[in-house]
Structure 1
Amino acid sequence: MRVVFAGTPEVSVTALKAIVASSHELVAVVTRPDAPAGRGRKLVASPVAQYAEELGGIEILKPVKPSDPEFLARLTEIAPDCCPVVAYGGLLPQAALDIPPHGWINLHFSVLPAWRGAAPVQQSIISGDDVTGASTFRIVKALDAGPVYGVLTERIGPKDTAGDLLTRLSVSGAKLLVDTLDGIEAGVLEAREQPTDGVTLAPKITVEDAELDLAAPAQRVDRLVRGCNPSPGAWTTFRGERLKVLEVNPTDEELKPGEIRATKSSVLVGTGSKALELVTVQPQGKKPMAAADWARGVRIVDEDRLGSE
């Protein structure tokens, strides 16, 4: 089957590699335009574009909008049988959806209809789910609402970050996507409409959403820290500046919300229930570091607090 793959970030590359290794013919790649990155803000190609360039001989399409007439005309000329998608990041118009006979097949990192949207893995951790997974479905105009071809599940461990979970799901999901393409080509796989109940939404998590409420129970604070790691990074404030909190551990200690207790080897902060041990933090403008090293450097005093007063 002739396929055009659509994807942009690093997590998409795992699936692209699986398609390259499969029996399907990769004829082109669609990705977002080059974007400024780093201190110099130089234009950098997406991870998917970079990998496609390494392959050689693969046409790379970077439409500003998937509705651009030039893009739609070229995709029509390429005439793919199917377009597998992983985290492309562009809104596909009906005119694009109608081009491949077998449609655009999306790998989405949740068990649909749960967590439709941009941040399913993050939201599943933040909400305290025990299990998440991945689904392949045919894209329709409504957000992540198309009929589902296949599903897998994945347990969420008590220490899993969004990065951990997404790494595992990208591997198992890549196999699910190839299996789905195999089934579609063989004519043995039929998509089923999603249930109308159980729909939850997973909008992108903003920096504002990632601010820690240290008056909340420790478990809720821990979930937000893990769900926002690596991006955008949960944060609080210390002496008027932002402090990212990348890893915490539960304790049985009692401290008031925001209260800090630092020793040579550990740093505790109070929440609305039990205190949490800060393991890894990132001060503004610096690299991640052990919380104990940070505390020694700033010389914690009794009056210091984390979070807004």
Structure 2
Amino acid sequence: MRIAFAGTPDAAVPTLEGLVEAGHVIVVVLTREDASAGRKRRVFPSPVAARAEALGLPVLKANRIDDEVTASILAAEPELGVVVAYGGIIREPLLSGPRDGWINLHFSLLPRWRGAAPVQRAIMAGDKETGVAVFQLEAGLDTGPTFVNRPVAIGADETARELLTRLAAEGVSDVLDTVTQIAAGSAVARAQDGPATHAAKLGTADGFIDWHDSATSLHARIRGVTPDPGAATTWKGERFKIHRVGIADATDLPPGEVQLRDRQVLIGCGTGALELLEVQPAGKKAMVASDWLRGVQDEGVRLG
């Protein structure tokens, strides 16, 4: 098929590659504009832009789909649009421009977690499963009928980065199967069923750790905000990042107190305790928690 592809982050790259490898003609790749990153604020193309250019595909960079962008995409005469985490809203007349409309690969079990951060919100909520959905894009936020809506288990210690990487890879075959069925005229979309929840975009506050929360809740929150916006607390008045934790057996540590027990770096929570596995003090690189603790006082350390 002649396909217009819209996507921006790493999670969208496997689907773009899969469509190309399957022999579809990518008539245009829509992605967000180059953005600055890192301490030096160097400007980089999006992962999708970089991969599309390497594949020799036509790239259109835009943060907002205005009349000019719409005209450029429609001029390429796509038969179908495919969206994977583009980061913008596709409205009319572009929405109904391609003959078969647009389909969206979404990383949740719809209608659970509609919105910008479905993977992160699922983990933070303590969900045991999420899903891969391919649905017909319509004006509502992730409300369209689904061609694919299958459950996927969430690993007990899986972070948002790890789960998103896995779902992005797994979802490629779902998109390819759907495109094949649409081309053959045999695709069937079913209305979403069940209560809907909103997966709002994460902010810095979502990564703040209150050690008075339960160990189970904090374990889920830290995994859900890793790597972005990242989990953080304070130590000696400075920001202290938490990259990886595990559930510990201890129950007698005050919230925020850190102790070394049986080679485990434990921190007390409101209920239960966590094992600190990987941390990052201000101005330092990420390190194994036991290495950090050895370099400071190993008794009487408190975070937050």
TM-score range, shorter chain: over 0.9
SS of residue paired to 1:145: coil
**Structure 1 CA distance, aligned partners of 2:215 and 2:161?**
21
Match of 1:61 in 2: 60
Distance change >3 Å, CA 73–CA 269, structure 1 → 2: same
Select 1:268's aligned residue among 266, 269, 288.
266
**Structure 2 CA distance, aligned partners of 1:200 and 1:127?**
11
How far does residue 299 in structure 1 lie from its aligned partner after superposition? Answer: 2.5
Task: Structure 1 unaligned segments of length 5 or more: list them.
Answer: none
Match of 2:156 in 1: 158
Amino acid at match of 1:259: E
Q: Which TM-score applies when normalising by structure 2? A: 0.96
**Structure 2 CA distance, aligned partners of 1:104 and 1:143?**
14
Q: Which TM-score applies when normalising by structure 1? A: 0.94
**Structure 1 CA distance, aligned partners of 2:107 and 2:282?**
31
Deviates more, 1:114-123 or 1:92-101: 92-101
**Structure 1 CA distance, aligned partners of 2:220 and 2:36?**
31
Number of equivalences: 303
Amino acid at match of 1:198: P
Match of 2:12 in 1: 12
**Structure 1 CA distance, aligned partners of 2:298 and 2:100?**
61
**Structure 1 CA distance, aligned partners of 2:262 and 2:34?**
46
Match of 1:50 in 2: 50
How far does residue 17 in structure 1 lie from its aligned partner after superposition? Answer: 0.7
**Structure 1 CA distance, aligned partners of 2:272 and 2:261?**
18
Partners of 2:206 and 2:225 within 8 A in 1? no
Residues 73-103 of structure 1 show CA distances to partners (whole Å, capped at 9, x for unaligned) of: 1112111001101010012122210211111
Match of 2:220 in 1: 223
1:73 and 2:71 aligned: yes
**Structure 2 CA distance, aligned partners of 1:236 and 1:183?**
49
Residues 100-158 of structure 1 show CA distances to partners (whole Å, capped at 9, x for unaligned) of: 11111100000100000111111111111111111011111111111111122211121
SS of residue paired to 2:149: strand
Q: Which has the higher strand share?
A: 2
Alignment of 1:1-309 (within 5 A): 1-56=1-56, 58-66=57-65, 68-195=66-193, 197-253=194-250, 254-262=252-260, 265-302=263-300, 304-307=301-304
**Structure 2 CA distance, aligned partners of 1:283 and 1:94?**
48
Partners of 1:263 and 1:292 within 8 A in 2? no
Partners of 2:28 and 2:73 within 8 A in 1? no
SS of residue paired to 2:198: coil
Residues 227-286 of structure 1 show CA distances to partners (whole Å, capped at 9, x for unaligned) of: 111211111111111111111122221201111113694321100111211010111232
SS of residue paired to 1:95: coil
Partners of 2:104 and 2:137 within 8 A in 1? yes
**Structure 1 CA distance, aligned partners of 2:157 and 2:283?**
26
Amino acid at match of 1:171: A
Amino acid at match of 1:145: T
RMSD between aligned residues: 1.4
Task: Structure 2 unaligned segments of length 5 or more: list them.
Answer: none
**Structure 2 CA distance, aligned partners of 1:265 and 1:13?**
41
